[in-house]
Amino acid sequence: MHGRKGSGRGGSSRRRPEDPTEGWTNYTMCFIPELRQLMDKLYASSEEDAKLKMRVASTGRVMETVGLAISLATILVSLVIFSSFRSLRNNRTRIHWHLFVAMKIQLVIRLTLYIDQYIIRSLHSDDYTPTGIDNTVGPKLLRDGSVII
């Protein structure tokens, strides 16, 4: 599907309600129906309620990032333990070594994405438009990294 530009009376382009100097393209028809329903539920009540929901989601992302960092630290400790003790270097534990390396790679990718998104969003908190990893590379990098692992 494609975005649609509308025109107002007199043939002029439809303008954004919050900034009448810029043109506006409606991309909502490009979203899958489930995402449109979720967005409708998010903004179904007051603007203040929507902000509260976004704050809860943001706090959840911070908690997830802290959990991922703790997981990365414990996996690194496990890899050091596997490397340090010669008795743990056998065929039976080799699969665990490879599993931990794969998990470490995934955690590094996810933490890189989340930290980059946090930095970009905090720098442009007032007039945020997706840029950097947040715009294009992030979801593809996470998906492709998971497939490779």
**Domain layout of the chain by residue ranges:** 46-148
Using a pLDDT cut of 70, give the percent of the chain over it: 64
Paired strand residues for 88: none
- Nearest CA-CA partner of 94 in 105, 83, 103: 83
- Confidence class for position 115, pLDDT limits 50, 70, 90: confident
Of the two residues 21 and 78, the one the predictor is more confident about is 78
- Nearest CA-CA partner of 116 in 102, 95, 135, 89: 135
Would you state the structure tokens that stand for residue 134, as one six-digit string? 């947040």
Residue written as token pair 């599907």: 1
Paired strand residues for 5: 25
Q: What is the pTM of this model?
A: 0.60
3-state percent breakdown (helix, strand, coil) of the chain, nearest 5 = 70, 5, 25
